[in-house]
Structures are given as C-alpha cells and as structure tokens.
Amino acid sequence: MELLKKNVNKRKEILGGEIADILKNHADTTVGEIKVKQLLGGMRGMTSLVCNTSFVDPYKGLFISEYSIPEFEDRLPEEIFYLLCAGKFPDDDEMAELREEINARSKLPKFMWSFIRSLPKKMHPMTLFSMCILSMEGRSVFKQNYGTPEMTKAQYWEYTLEDSLNLLSKLPTIAAAIYRIHLLGKQPIDYSPRLDWSNNLAQMLGVNSERSFSELLRLYLVLHCDHEGGNVSAFTSRVVNSALSNIYYAASAGLNGLAGPLHGLANQVCLQFIQGIHAQLGDSPTTDDITAYINNELENGRVIPGYGHAVLRITDPRFSAFMEFGNKYCPNSAYLQTVKKLYYVVPNILKDYKGGKVANPYPNVDAISGSLLYHYGIKKYGFYTVLFGLSRVLGFCAQSVLALGLNQPIIRPKSVTNKWLKDKLEKQ
Ligand code: CMX
C-alpha cells in the first residue's frame, strides 16, 4: 500500500499546511452566524465542519476534489476511493497496487458465513450489514496497536487506512452474501480476484448477467460514495471515529444512520411508493392520476420519498445521471416511466405545499435508483440501502483517514437548554 500511503501523505501535508496558515492568520475570525431557527432546526445551513473528501454545491451538486459528477461518473469505485483519499485518480501502477491490496484482503473471516446464516430471516438487511461490519471490530489493527509505543498519534491515519482497506475489500462479498443467503435463501457465489468491485458484485449477486447490470452497479457505487461531511451517516461515522473508536465501529454507526427513511432508506421507500402507485392506478398511471395520488399523500401528512434535500436546491445530478442510464438501457421500464411522471408532477406540487416551505422540491438520488435495480432483477428492496451503504463506506473511511491525518480533535459541540436560550435572548 506504499503508493496509496505516499499519495495520502502528500495530500495530508498540503491540507495540513493550509490549515496551519488559516489558523495562524484567522484563528479568531468569524465565518458565519448562528440563527435561532438553525439552532432549533437541525443545524440546517450552519457551517460547522471541514470535510476535504467532497463538497456539495447547492446548485451544482457533488464535487470530489475539483471533479463534478459528469467528470467522475465513468470511473470505477476503486478509483473513486483513491480520489476521495488522495485527491487524485490513480495511475496504472497505483491502481494495480490497490487492486492487489483489495484481492489480498477480500477473504471473509470464517465465522461470517455462519453468522449471516444464523440471523433471523425477518431482520432487515441493513441491520445485518451493520452487524457484519461490527462483528469484525476485534480485527482492527488500530485497536490492536493503540496505546503501544510503536503507534504514535501521527500514525493514526495509517492504521485507519489499513483498517479501511481490510474492511472495504470484504464489503462486496458481505453484501452479496446478505442478498444470496439471507434474502434469497441460496448459496453464495465466490469472489473473483480477476474482477473489479462492480463486476464482482454483479457476479456474486447472480441475478442478471447483462453487461449493463454491472454497469448499473458501477454507477451506483460511484454515485453514492460520499456527500460531504454533514449528512446523517457521514457525520455519525466521523463523530464516532473522532473518539478514536476504530473504523469498524464508525462505519457500523454511520450505516445505522443511513438506515433511516429520511436518509438512505428513502431509496427502498421510493420503490415501495411506486409499487403503491401501480397497485392502485395500474402500471401506466396518467399524470392526472399521479397528481391526485400525491395530493392525497400530502393531505395525509406523509412526505413524498425521493424529493427534497437538506443542501441541494436543484434536481440532484445523481438523479440525472441515473436517468441518463435508464434512458439508454431500459427506457421502456414501467417503473422508470412512473419515475418520469413523478418528476413532471411532484416539484410543481411541492413548490406550493405548506406555503412554499419545502426548501427543495426537486428529486434526489433515491427517487430513481431503486427502480433501476428492480428492473435488473434486484427485487428484494430491503437490499437497496445495503448497496447505498456499501458505497457510502468509501466516504466514511476516506473522511476518517483524512481527519486523523490532519490531527482533527474529538468532535464535541456545545448544547444548551431552552432556559439558556431564553435568558440569552432576553438579554439582547
Ligand atoms: N415531501 C413532503 N414534505 C416535505 C418534503 C417531501 N419530500 N421535503 C420536505 N418537506 C417538508 C418537511 O417535512 C418540512 O415540513 P415541517 O417543517 O412541517 O416538518 C418542510 O418541508 C421543510 O423541510 P426542508 O427544509 O425542505 O427539508 P429538510 O432539510 O428539513 O429535510 C429531507 C430534507 C430530505 C429529510 C426532506 O426533504 C424529506 O423528508 N424528503 C423525503 C425523504 C427523502 O427523500 N430522503 C432522502 C434524502 C437523500 C438521502 O439522504 O439519501
């Protein structure tokens, strides 16, 4: 892993130099204000973190380093992990090294197979995924070496990178095992060292042999990898790791946040939502029927899954990338047709809903991803958030490697009570 370490080290020195300069010249400069409505409103829009793996521009979407989605969407997930950590795409030698490292670390611990088989069939696949990761925590080299004279604070990031590669290399096999064993009740299919992550995953899932299926998985793993530092899952994972809980604890914690319906689970909920529409209105609903359906959902106090975002103020470019894929490979899919009709109908309704309170009436990535997976034969939708998580752990790992490399301290914001707030406001 020498080349990857060297490149992360290089980046860490550049970023570390920038931080030192900023602190030297501006340590007490104010960069924003905190409004009461933000304090009481989930810290929305409050600038309170620095995360160098990726950035979400409200009007342009996700950037990894300086690359926007159209500039990185054709890459492999392995290359994206490199980009998140090192700020550059790997050259051929660097990629060969990474592939070799991944293959060498891909074998699951023996207990994992019986562990997956032993868990109740009713358990949600995300619970399993998170537990599988947590079950390997004792193997953390960070944990094993922490407190020994050999492991200095300056090396925390290297041990975390080591743990990250050990973990990431096993995740496609774990995810596929959850699908095959837990959800389908079938035998697992072997990992192949000849294949990259997406092709391996496509083969190990064993549901579809079309070339475009592994292309969909590649795109899926690339588009979900990271979304800056403040979203529930990335932030949770980073907070946990900031206490020097190792990356197994941190990834599992982050995934538990991703499992919520307002976050990653929305992709499963979206598919169920579309199935609900088809069950009630048939497989080819009209836009008028969909409009009535949406209005009824809102009147009953339900959110429209796949629409809205805490940061984005446009159609999520990840949604657009998936739409382009769908138009190319499965334009006649009934679910895709309904996704399009929803796109035509929902933003106009949400714009006026609750007096214009919905900050972003446009679709996010979850509005379409599940429909494409379903089209290719992944019909157990409980699995969708596992795929999302498999990709998002790339970001969790990269964020923690960089944060530890930059010597970022334990995260511990201050909270206050209503009384404190009232007293403070009365004095103003
Ligand atoms: N349907 C109905 N109401 C919505 C809505 C939607 N899709 N999106 C926002 N609203 C409502 C909110 O519930 C909120 O109402 P109240 O103040 O009465 O509670 C109001 O509009 C303002 O919310 P907001 O500032 O626009 O949105 P937030 O930043 O608070 O929340 C999000 C963002 C994504 C949780 C929200 O838009 C939502 O619940 N969307 C549906 C679930 C979803 O698609 N989640 C996936 C997001 C992407 C991901 O993380 O994977």
Read off the amino acid at residue 159.
Y
Ligand 1 and 305: CB distance under 6 A? yes
The average confidence (pLDDT) of the chain is: 97
- Summarised one tens digit per residue, pLDDT across range 271-299 is 999 999 999 999 999 999 999 999 999 99
Ligand 1 centroid, distance to 43 Cα (angstroms)? 14
Determine the average pLDDT of the residues in 205-214: 95
ipTM over 0.90: yes
Ligand 1 centroid, distance to 27 Cα (angstroms)? 35
Confidence of residue 375 (pLDDT cuts 50, 70, 90): very high
Is the four-CA dihedral 400, 197, 366, 325 of positive or negative sign? positive
CB 307 within 8 A of CB 364: yes
Confidence of residue 428 (pLDDT cuts 50, 70, 90): confident
Q: Which residues of 33-54 are buried (b: 16+ CB within 10 A; e: fewer)?
A: eeeeeeeeeebebbeebebbbb
Q: Whose CA is nearest to atom 10 of ligand 1?
A: 358
Q: Whose CA is nearest to atom 35 of ligand 1?
A: 262
Q: Whose CA is nearest to atom 1 of ligand 1?
A: 303
The residues assigned a catalytic role are: 263, 309, 366
Domains of the chain: 48-263+382-405 (1.10.580.10), 276-379 (1.10.230.10)
Ligand 1 and 228: CB distance under 6 A? no
Ligand 1 centroid, distance to 196 Cα (angstroms)? 36
Ligand 1 and 310: CB distance under 6 A? yes
Closest CA to 342 of 378, 315, 317, 377: 315
Looking at the predicted structure, is the pLDDT value of residue 383 above 90? yes
Ligand 1 and 294: CB distance under 6 A? no
Q: How many CA atoms lie within 13 A of 166 on its CB side?
A: 18
Confidence of residue 55 (pLDDT cuts 50, 70, 90): very high
Q: How many CB atoms lie within 10 A of CB 143?
A: 18
pTM here? Answer: 0.96
- Summarised one tens digit per residue, pLDDT across range 296-341 is 999 999 999 999 999 999 999 999 999 999 999 999 999 999 999 9
Q: Whose CA is nearest to atom 30 of ligand 1?
A: 310
Ligand 1 and 367: CB distance under 6 A? no
- Summarised one tens digit per residue, pLDDT across range 91-115 is 999 999 999 999 999 999 999 999 9
Ligand 1 centroid, distance to 357 Cα (angstroms)? 10
